[in-house]
Amino acid sequence: MRWLSVTFLGFLICFIPQRALGQSNEGKIALSLGTDASHAYFFRGIKQERKGLIVQPYAEVSFSLLEKDEGLNSVKLLIGQRNSLHSAPSGSPETSSYTGIRQRDQTLATWHRSDFFSGIALGIENWKADITYASYLSPNHSFGTVQELSFTLTMDDREFFLVPIEPHVGLAIELDGQSDRGSSEGVYFELGIKPRLELLDGVTSIKFPVTLGLSLSNYYENGAGLDNTFGYFDIGAVASLPITAPRSFGEWELTGGVHLLALGGYLETINNGDQLQAVGSIGFHIRY
């Protein structure tokens, strides 16, 4: 895992402005990075791994192009990368069961997934619209590369409710490759809310994300070529605890949570016949 430490340190060196050592970030460039660890990984309900240790470091940089109070109040450009490193068995140099390609480079054996994404985020009154291009790769050849274009619309309802629920809708269109390992590019649709409770006078908080994932076209294809509309239903609880750090070093926090997934017919099949799946995780995050 030494190469992972070097990579993560590289993100810090490349992206944190040198003046961060002396003052807080008041510029137009913002950084978010961190890592999450879990015992299982499901991407939109599709099983990636549920054995061993899974570590997922990430980094994202945003560039603010516009900030004002009314109408179109913000425009940001986003670029980022997320990884998924697995101890076993998908993080293995053995022949991939999906591609038949034998991994020869032992240093890439644990590197199951590497996602690159870029996009634009628009703030319009109390709405946020994201348009994102993403490329999902597997350095250890566990699956073929997938490219997609996604659209997400999120409502900031803090001004309307005592407990905001932050509803959102999302649409993802596969341009090349298939996340479900099927034969056709698909279209994914998502509905979700994220109620949030502030505790201890705002010192800590708990979010209760709820997500419904559906296939609009060929996103959850089974082996017979049939498309299952219902993909999964996910309900979770995630607690956040800030870490005391000098203001010039940004905002640090620890997170811990659990999700319970109920899977549709096809996703149940590729999850070893288990319809329900619990996933726990912990994380460390920095925003600057």
Query: pLDDT digit of tens for each residue in the chain (288 aa)?
Result: 444 444 444 444 444 444 433 456 678 999 999 999 999 999 999 999 999 999 999 999 999 999 998 889 999 999 999 999 999 888 875 444 444 545 445 567 899 999 999 999 999 999 999 999 999 999 998 889 999 999 999 999 888 878 889 999 999 999 999 998 788 899 999 999 999 998 887 778 999 999 999 999 999 998 677 899 999 999 999 999 999 888 888 999 999 999 999 999 999 999 999 999 999 999 999 999
Q: What is this structure's pTM?
A: 0.85
CATH topology of domain 2-287: Porin (2.40.160)
- 240 within 8 A of 255, measured Cβ to Cβ: yes
What phi and psi, each to the nearest 5 degrees, are found at residue 252?
A: -110, 145
Position of tokens 């082996």? 223
The strand pair at 168-176 and 187-193 is best described as antiparallel
